[in-house]
């Protein structure tokens, strides 16, 4: 397994879990990692929602980490550096408003969104009244003079089937804290009628956690995490982005493609040197075990594997594509080294929701939410790890 340093450990007795890691390197060479909290024991805001994010810095290239601050009403957020400032961009809470913050001192202090002029971009409803905005730490993409990020509106607020895809964008040199500079596309719900008949029985089909990516011809797409119950095939959905982000459409006859790892959140970026697309994700391996679980009706099963039997997150791969549509595994990056039996490893160990960035001329840095050595199950993460992939182009 590639060497990892631990950014954060959360004791299991707290019934609080660690989610949504994001990572960035600053011009002063410091590293910054963020993550949020979820679970029945985690801190909650005035709407009784999960909403807390913590920020960490490393001054020694990731060997050690210091928690430098916490941010309330900040959730599912992406770190990115743009025009001389550090930003964190996501929602105000689980199923909240779309908000953005800026730090001018490397992550120690942040602006506080309260109105449309200082970062409160698109207002959500109270608690689970719509809109219920959702996202993940995915790439913030610059294309043809605009900056883009994918979101979803989970209205009605039903996990899995309720997510409506959308995209927000602004001119690349605009004041990103001013809502007047941002445009939101139409919202596109997933229609179960779009499931191909040859896929057979599916449960709770839906998309979420989109990535805005330009294909080699310059066409923008929203590439989705996609699950459809016991479907074994790893099929992603691609949503076309048009009119400078004002309009998105989906064609079910051409809108699916094979993407290993797409049943869990992905971050996709294009290498400006080789032109290849890269992601880090949880491609499925132990198909026989997963097929058996798909047939089980045992109520004692972990709830995640009852509704979503095709989930395996105890291995992490670097994947690459020359054209965005045809993907290959190029490196097994992380695997469970506890010695557990394969089926127990799948149940109890998970390295997931990896966020990553190109770093310098030849490397990749990443942060990964991990359920490992003591976690209650593969999903409820007790650790955030940081790592690096040196000389990544040698893998391509």
pLDDT tens readout for residues 267-286: 999 999 999 999 999 999 98
Which tokens hold the place of 314? 């105890």
Quote the CA–CA distance of 3 and 31 in Å, as a whole number: 17
Residue 366's closest CA among 390, 349, 382? 390
Could you say which residues of the chain have pLDDT below 70? Answer: 296-308
How much of the chain exceeds pLDDT 90, in percent? 91
- Check residue 48 and give its pLDDT: 95
5-395 CATH choice from 2.130.10.10, 1.10.3720.10, 2.120.10.10, 2.60.120.10: 2.120.10.10
The separation between CA 364 and the C-alpha centre of its own chain, rounded to angstroms, equals: 17
Name every residue whose Cβ is closer than 8 Å to that of residue 327 and which is 6 or more positions away in sequence: 258, 259, 260, 279, 319, 320, 321
- Check residue 291 and give its pLDDT: 83
Q: Within the chain, what is the greatest distance between any pair of CA atoms?
A: 55
What backbone torsions phi and psi does residue 68 show, to the nearest 5 degrees? -95, -25
Which tokens hold the place of 88? 């964190």
Quote the CA–CA distance of 45 and 43 in Å, as a whole number: 7
Quote the CA–CA distance of 53 and 19 in Å, as a whole number: 9
Going from N- to C-terminal start, the domains of the chain cover: 5-395
- Check residue 310 and give its pLDDT: 86
Tokens 């990115």 found at: 80
Q: Where are the alpha helices (DSSP H) in the chain?
A: 287-295, 303-307, 342-348
- Check residue 304 and give its pLDDT: 52
Determine contact, residues 55/64, Cβ cutoff 8 Å.
no
């Amino acid at each position: 397994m590639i060497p990892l340093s631990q950014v954060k450990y959360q004791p299991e007795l707290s019934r609080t879990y660690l989610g949504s890691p994001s990572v960035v390197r600053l011009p002063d060479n410091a590293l910054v990692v963020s993550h949020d909290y979820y679970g029945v024991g985690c801190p909650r805001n005035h709407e009784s929602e999960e909403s807390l994010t913590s920020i960490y810095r490393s001054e020694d290239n990731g060997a050690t980490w210091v928690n430098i601050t916490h941010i309330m009403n900040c959730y599912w957020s992406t770190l990115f550096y743009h025009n001389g400032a550090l930003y964190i961009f996501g929602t105000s809470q689980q199923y909240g408003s779309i908000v953005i913050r800026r730090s001018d001192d490397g992550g120690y202090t942040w602006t506080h969104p309260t109105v449309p002029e200082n970062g409160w971009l698109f207002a959500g409803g109270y608690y689970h009244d719509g809109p219920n905005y959702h996202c993940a730490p995915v790439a913030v993409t610059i294309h043809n003079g605009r900056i883009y990020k994918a979101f979803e509106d989970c209205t009605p607020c039903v996990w899995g089937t309720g997510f409506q895809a959308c995209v927000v964008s602004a001119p690349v040199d605009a004041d990103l804290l001013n809502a007047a500079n941002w445009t939101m596309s139409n919202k596109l719900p997933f229609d179960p009628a779009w499931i191909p008949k040859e896929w057979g029985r599916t449960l709770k089909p839906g998309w979420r956690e989109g990535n805005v990516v330009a294909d080699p011809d310059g066409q923008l797409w929203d590439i989705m995490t996609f699950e459809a119950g016991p479907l074994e095939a790893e099929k992603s959905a691609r949503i076309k982005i048009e009119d400078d982000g004002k309009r998105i459409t989906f064609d079910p006859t051409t809108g699916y493609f094979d993407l290993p790892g797409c049943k869990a959140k992905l971050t996709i970026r294009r290498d400006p040197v080789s032109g290849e697309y890269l992601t880090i994700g949880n491609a499925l391996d132990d198909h026989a075990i997963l097929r058996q679980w798909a047939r089980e009706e045992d109520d004692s099963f972990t709830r995640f594997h009852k509704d979503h039997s095709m989930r395996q997150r105890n291995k992490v791969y670097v994947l690459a594509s020359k054209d965005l549509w045809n993907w290959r595994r190029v490196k097994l990056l992380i695997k469970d080294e506890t010695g557990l039996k394969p089926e127990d490893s799948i149940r109890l160990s998970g390295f997931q929701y990896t966020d990553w960035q190109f770093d310098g001329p030849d490397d990749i840095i990443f942060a990964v939410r991990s359920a490992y050595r003591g976690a209650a199950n593969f999903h409820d993460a007790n650790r955030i790890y940081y790592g690096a992939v040196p000389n990544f182009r040698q893998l391509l």
